[in-house]
Each structure stands twice: as C-alpha cells, then as structure tokens.
C-alpha cells in the first residue's frame, strides 16, 4: 500500500468509527466498499503525505457531521438549522466525482488570518491556492481537531449560500462550532482555509 493510500485508509477508519455509515443509512461493509476504488487508485501512485479524505454530501449530509467532531469530550455543534447548513454549496469549482475524494495539502489559512473573505479569495487566487469548501472544512475538524486549537479557526470560501455568507468553523466554549460570516467581515481568530488541489478516482486513472 502506498503512503498516501495508507493515510486515507486511516482516515476512513476514523469516520467509520464515528458512525458515518449510519449517517449514510448503509452498512459499514457497504460504506467501506464505496471507498475501495479511490484506495485502489491511490495505491498505484504517491500523491502527498498531507491529504484529507472527504465524503461528498451525496453520501453524508453536512448538517449531520459537525456533531461528530470533538475536542476531548466536547462535541462540535452549530446553532444553524439543517436547511441553512445545506444551503452552502460549492462556488467556482465542481468537486471530483465519486462518493469520496481527497484534498491535497489542506491548510487552515494562517497566512490569511484577519482578512475579509472576499479579500482573502483574491489573495488565494494570486498565490495559486484553492479555497476549501464546507465538506472539506468539516473533514479537517473531524480528522485534525487539534488544528483548531493549535492553529486557528477558518472560513471556507469554496462554499457560499444564496445570500452571500460563507461557512466558518472555530472554537467556541471548548468545542468546534460551525457558523457563518458575511464576505465583508473579518475576525482576528479566523484564517481562510485552502488546499493545493483535489483528486478523485477519475483524476487518478
């Protein structure tokens, strides 16, 4: 197994143990089987040591995932209703096809801390980075909750609601919190998360 495939397998084990198959309304065996094409493709190629497994919203709905994040014994939460969370959709990109894909070199965006989302997006474009979307930010909070403690909370500029808001994840009362901000707002504790690319099964073949 390649190093990349081994990392992704470990992340798959994490979300299975967190009950993602139940969220997807399927057996653990069926859920894991959906990831096998991606794992098989990754076993033939090394991508990077820093990758992030992302289940698409067709497989698991974003509103059901924040409560499966945690810092210690403090579960993540959101005060937004499920319909509001579902309203954040990808902008300016199409996620790779398949129930799972990977994000390459995810980052919480420390270089863009205290920047308005619209300003940060222009800087990202200039720097050659791609903003993370809602599902990808939830994957960070799930797989690397310590990043919220050691680094910073972050905006997810790859997703936006119809009224212009962008989703954000930060620490609140010792727990990961999913919320949203306006694109002209800035906060000293929020970065703007990004990655260097995304890969799905079709892009690896």
Give the number of domains in the chain. Answer: 1
Mean pLDDT over 134-141 rounds to 98
Name every residue whose Cβ is closer than 8 Å to that of residue 64 and which is 6 or more positions away in sequence.
23, 82
Q: Please report whether residue 29 resides in a domain.
A: no
Quick: pLDDT tens for 9-67.
999 999 999 999 999 999 999 999 999 999 999 988 888 789 999 999 999 999 999 99
Distance (Å, rounded) from C-alpha 170 to C-alpha 189?
8
DSSP state of 57: T
Q: Please report whether residue 118 resides in a domain.
A: yes
The pLDDT score that the predictor gives to residue 204 is 65
Mean pLDDT over 81-109 rounds to 94
The pLDDT score that the predictor gives to residue 156 is 98
Q: Please report whether residue 197 resides in a domain.
A: yes
The pLDDT score that the predictor gives to residue 205 is 52
Quick: pLDDT tens for 158-205.
999 999 999 999 999 999 999 999 999 989 999 999 999 999 987 565
Q: Please report whether residue 152 resides in a domain.
A: yes
Q: Please report whether residue 11 resides in a domain.
A: no
User: Is the pTM here over 0.85, yes or no?
Assistant: yes
Range of the domain at 182: 56-204
Distance (Å, rounded) from C-alpha 205 to C-alpha 203?
6
DSSP state of 164: S
Element (H, E) at 78: strand 77-78
Mean pLDDT over 134-143 rounds to 97
The pLDDT score that the predictor gives to residue 85 is 96
Q: Please report whether residue 81 resides in a domain.
A: yes
Under a CB-based contact definition with an 8 Å cutoff, are residues 31 and 21 in contact?
A: yes
Q: Please report whether residue 10 resides in a domain.
A: no
Q: Please report whether residue 15 resides in a domain.
A: no
Between the alpha carbon of residue 145 and those of residues 73, 108, 150, 173, the distances in Å are 12, 11, 9, 14
């Amino acid at each position: 197994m390649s190093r990349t495939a081994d990392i992704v397998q470990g992340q798959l084990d994490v979300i299975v143990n967190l009950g993602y198959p139940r969220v997807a309304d399927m057996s653990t065996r069926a859920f894991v089987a959906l990831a096998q094409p991606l794992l098989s493709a990754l076993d033939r190629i090394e991508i990077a040591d820093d990758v992030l497994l992302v289940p698409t919203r067709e497989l698991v709905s974003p509103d059901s995932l924040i409560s499966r994040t945690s810092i210690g014994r403090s579960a993540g939460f959101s005060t937004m209703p499920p319909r509001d969370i579902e309203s954040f959709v990808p902008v300016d990109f199409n996620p790779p096809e398949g129930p799972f894909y990977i994000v390459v070199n995810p980052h919480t965006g420390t270089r863009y801390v205290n920047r308005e989302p619209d300003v940060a997006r222009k800087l990202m474009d200039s720097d050659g980075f791609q903003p993370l979307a809602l599902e990808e930010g939830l994957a960070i909070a799930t797989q690397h909750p310590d990043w919220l403690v050691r680094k910073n909370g972050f905006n997810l500029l790859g997703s936006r609601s119809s009224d212009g808001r962008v989703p954000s994840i930060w620490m609140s009362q010792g727990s990961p919190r999913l919320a949203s901000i306006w694109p002209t707002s800035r906060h000293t504790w929020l970065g703007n998360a990004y990655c260097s690319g995304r890969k799905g099964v079709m892009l690896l073949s």
